[in-house]
Amino acid sequence: MEPVRSALFVPGNREEWVANAHTNDADVVILDLEDSVPPGEKEAAREIVADNVSALADEGQRIHVRVNAHPNASQGFAEHDYEAVVRAGVEAITVPKVRNPEDLERLDSVLTHIERREGLPENSVELLVNIETAQAMRQVYDICTAAERVATIGCGAVKGTDTNRALGFEWTGPGREGLETIHLRQQALMDARAAGIEHPLAGPYVDVGDIEGLREDMQFSREMGYTGYIVIHPSHVEHANELFLPDAETVEYWIGALEALQEAERENKSAITYKGEMIDIANISTAERYLEYAKAFEDDLEIETDLDAY
């Protein structure tokens, strides 16, 4: 999956909001069929989402769809969701309340069947897995490796989230203040990285009006290693896009470091001093990874260097 700074939830039963989802400047919109849609409007929401995917994709909008949770928890809605929304233009399914790897293995089989029937390439529809149950928190690595199509995770260990309800922690504040959630976030991130997940997502932050707290939590999530943020309100998008945008100064640093290291390799050197710091050939992969991430948002970066050269 390409990098995501901002992923905005849009209720699937709000037809006007869905049709205009591309105007919010979010890297990804998550058209929601789960918690934001009342049970009596599930069928209508499926139709609204299905009817708008093509037009949104034509606008260049990346589209995810959050389906309902495991059938035992949501009256069998999930199977109808898959049938309605697995189609060209949908980049990923957002899977809520996953409990274990077996949940994803079953889902993978269902999606493969639908892809073949619809003439879509196998594994063309990826999975964003929400880590929000106690069972899932203990099995993040196995969940991330349960199916090839698992592309990233969402870890929302803040107040008012399913994780909060599942674990019962008392929220003490965003960012570094929330000591009760730091272990959860770090453990999920470590397991996801170990499984090869490159762009894990944090969030959402449910206090819509607390922009200071939102930004603090976003900044802390980035410092921890998350590369994007799931948001529940359009006003949060700009903050995610800003705070998870690669830093121009850091981009220029790694461009210079990469060039210096490549020159050192040609001279049969493995370690050099660059801008007062000792770096070696192991840093080449760090530079390449950071610059690859930056390329996804090059149009928003204020740098003169053409990143395609790297």
Q: Let me know whether 106 and 141 are in one domain.
A: yes
End-to-end CA distance of the chain: give it in Å, rounded. 20
Q: Give the pairing of strands 271-274 and 277-280.
A: antiparallel
CB 310 within 8 A of CB 291: yes
pLDDT at res. 73? 45
Alpha carbon distance 131, 144 (integer Å): 10
Q: What is the pLDDT of residue 81?
A: 93
Q: Is position 275 within any domain? A: yes
Cα separation, 103 vs 105, in Å, equals 6
Q: Is 267 helix (H, G, I), strand (E, B) or coil?
A: coil
Are 234 and 93 in a shared domain?
yes
**In a domain? residue 290:** yes
Strand, coil or helix: what is 201?
strand
Whether residue 294 sits in one domain with residue 211: no
Q: What is the mean pLDDT of residues 71-87?
A: 74
For the ranges 5-19, 31-45, 166-180, 245-259, the lowest mean pLDDT is seen at 166-180
- Picking from 222, 243, 264, the residue at the C-terminal end of a domain is 243
Residue 10 and residue 125 share a domain: yes
Indicate whether 167 and 272 sit together in one domain: no
Is 282 inside any structural domain? yes
* 30 & 177 share domain: yes
Looking at the domain assignment, is residue 104 inside a domain?
yes
Mean pLDDT of 273-296: 92
Asked if residue 137 is part of any domain, the answer here is yes
* Contact predicate 245/5, CB 8 Å: yes
Residue 8 has pLDDT above 90, yes or no: yes
Domain co-membership, 37 together with 86? yes
CB contact set of 14 (below 8 Å; sequence gap of 6+): 48
- pLDDT value, residue 50: 97
**pLDDT value, residue 305:** 82
CATH number at residue 161: 3.20.20.60
Of the listed ranges 1-10, 32-41, 68-77, 276-285, the least confidently predicted one is 68-77
Cα–Cα separations (whole angstroms), residue 283 to 254, 255, 268, 276 = 9, 12, 16, 15
pLDDT in tens, 194-238: 999 999 999 999 999 999 999 999 999 999 999 999 999 999 999
> Given pLDDT bands bounded at 50, 70 and 90, which one contains residue 310?
confident
Give the residue among 70, 74, 79 at the shortest CA–CA distance from 113. 79
| Statement to judge: residues 47 and 176 lie in one domain | yes
- The per-residue pLDDT for 70 is 66
Is there a single domain that holds both residue 216 and residue 268? no
Same domain, 157 and 256: no
Query: Residues 6 or more apart from 66 whose CB is under 8 A from it?
Result: 9, 30, 31, 32, 33, 34, 93, 94, 95, 96
On whether both 264 and 227 belong to a single domain, the answer is: no
Residue 180 · residue 170 · CB < 8 Å: yes
Question: Structural domain of residue 78, as residue ranges?
Answer: 6-243
Write phi, then psi, for 90 (nearest 5 degrees): -90, 115
| pLDDT tens digits, 10-20 | 999 999 999 99
Question: Which of the listed residues 193, 220, 243 is the one where a domain comes to its end?
Answer: 243
Higher local confidence (pLDDT), 41 or 175: 41
**Who wins on pLDDT, 124 or 159?**
124
pTM flag (> 0.85): yes
Q: Tell me the range of 71-80, 113-122, 173-182 where mean pLDDT is highest.
A: 113-122
Residues 199 and 304 in one domain: no
* Residue 1 falls inside a structural domain: no
State the CB neighbour count (10 A cutoff) for residue 15. 16
The pLDDT of 260-289, averaged and rounded, is: 91
Under 8 Å CB-to-CB from 39, ≥6 apart: which residues? 75, 77
- State residue 171's pLDDT score: 82
Task: Give the 3-state secondary structure of residue 11.
Answer: strand
Looking at the structure of the chain, the number of domains it has is: 2
What sign does the CA torsion over 26, 125, 59, 39 have? negative
Among 215, 243, 271, give the residue marking a domain's end. 243
Confidence of residue 74 (pLDDT cuts 50, 70, 90): very low
How do residues 88-132 score in pLDDT, each as one tens digit? Answer: 999 999 999 999 999 999 999 999 999 999 999 999 999 999 999
Residues of the chain above pLDDT 70, percent: 97
Phi/psi of residue 153, nearest 5 degrees: -125, 160
Please, are residues 280 and 270 in contact by the beta-carbon 8 Å criterion? yes
